[in-house]
Amino acid sequence: MSTDTVAYIQENEFDTLLTQEKVLVVDFTATWCGPCRLVSPLMDQLAEEYKDRVKVVKVDVDNNKPIFKRFGLRSIPAVLIFKDGELAEKIVGVSPYEQFTTAVEKLV
């Protein structure tokens, strides 16, 4: 049973969310990725802390390679933060929670 509070989305949902959400945080992840498991609880925490202002979602790169390639990503974990549909921040690799909150704070 997964305790993730952040939903996984598919490619078709991604474009819809980009147009709907003011600030969208996308965690590119995969089940086999060890470092991704370290980022996952941080995304859950971020989603909880900013639940009224920011939408946080996850994308499984194995099932959604086109989105992954669209943003020129080559490694995961990668967290992309969009504001009004535009890519505003890209954080690749395992980062401290503060790096995510600082990036989000600039946009909300």
Q: Where are the alpha helices (DSSP H) in the chain?
A: 11-20, 34-49, 65-70, 97-105
The token pair that represents 4 in the structure block: 């993730």
Q: Which of 33, 47, 61, 67 is catalytic?
A: 33
Q: Is 61 a catalytic residue?
A: no
User: Which is the catalytic residue, given 26, 36, 79, 103?
Assistant: 36
Verify whether residue 77 is a known catalytic residue.
no
CA distance linking residue 33 with residue 50, whole number of Å: 26
Known catalytic residues? 33, 36
